A = this chain, B = another copy of it.
Amino acid sequence: MQALITGGAGFIGSNLADRLLAEDHAVTVYDNFSTGQRDFLLQAHQNKRFRLVEGDLLDRERLTQAMAGHDTVFHLAANADVRFGTHHPERDLQQNTIATFHVLEAMRTQGVKRIAFSSTGSIYGEPQVFPTPETAPFPVQTSLYGASKLAGEGLISAYCTGFGFQGYIFRFVSILGERYTHGHVFDFYRKLLSNPHEIEVLGNGQQRKSYLYVQDCLDAILLAMTRAQEPLNIFNLGTEGYCCVNDSLTWICDHLGVQPHRRYSGGERGWIGDSPFIFLDTTKIRSLGWKPRCTIREGVIKTLQYLQHHRDLLLRR
């Protein structure tokens, strides 16, 4: 594979880069380092089949040049911040929707026709069906992030029909593991370092969420791209369960040996547009023979252990 990974210096992207290089593929990382970390590419830089292009997806000319000579794009770059969408509504449009269009156009210009895309369970809005299958009833968007990812899915699908692309759309739950740089484990750990006696929990703590360990996520992506060969292939990726925010906080506190008083901001949702229950039906990806190796609890602890060894990351954002 001659792979180009957008957002390849990020959490999932850099893990993917290492994995592909280990499997003898050539890898180009395209990243603007807005949230990506140079340290995450230290291992990749050891490999002579690795190339880094520092660039922004909104710089279409640079992207188009970088695209030449590849056969597969893993489009992982995104504004992945679900919570603060309403603080800067243009960011999701630019960095998710328009950026995805630029990726597709750069591919079309250079004759690259295979794309994998990191979509999200957020596009199901507040679903009525649990676990939520890929064919759930037509959802209503409740966040700018979800809307921008749905727009990206739509563009990729239209390019599959209109230009003979092959597309792999992966709707992720939240991903956990090494190189994790934002999300609830990050937030809780940072808060507890600053004050181990009291912690604020957004919402009522009863929100039910699902998580997946990053290496399990990569296993699923790479397996799907080997075994599924439709023009467009859509897969939910998640574990076969969920946990409450409160459970997750308990695991974190137990691991750290702290017992903070929990103060709840209240309400069913952590913020406007937060989905109180995320649980995806993963029957489709499991039917290809995939199974996650880590439970949610194990994923949370691995993440926490990683952050404990990389406390500098807590300061960078």
Interchain nearest-CB distance for A151 vs B (Å)? 3
Q: Are B135 and A161 in contact (CB under 8 A)?
A: no
Interchain nearest-CB distance for A33 vs B (Å)? 26
A residues 121-144 in Cβ contact with B at 8 Å: 125, 134-144
Kindly state the separation between the CA atoms of A142 and B162 in the bound complex, as whole angstroms.
Answer: 7
Q: Are B136 and A137 in contact (CB under 8 A)?
A: yes
Kindly state the separation between the CA atoms of A108 and B86 in the bound complex, as whole angstroms.
Answer: 11
Number of A residues, CB within 8 Å of B: 40
Known A-B contacts A93-B101, A137-B136, A155-B147; the reply to A163 vs B86 at CB < 8 A is: yes
Q: Are B141 and A154 in contact (CB under 8 A)?
A: yes
Kindly state the separation between the CA atoms of A105 and B101 in the bound complex, as whole angstroms.
Answer: 21
Tell me which of B97, B108, B138 contacts A97 (CB under 8 A).
B97
Q: Are B86 and A162 in contact (CB under 8 A)?
A: yes
Q: Are A98 and B105 in contact (CB under 8 A)?
A: no
CB within 8 Å of B: which residues of A?
85-86, 89-90, 93, 97-98, 101, 104-105, 108, 125, 134-144, 146-148, 150-151, 153-155, 157-158, 161-163, 232, 234, 272-273
5 closest Cβ pairs, A-B complex: A147-B154, A151-B151, A141-B157, A135-B137, A86-B162
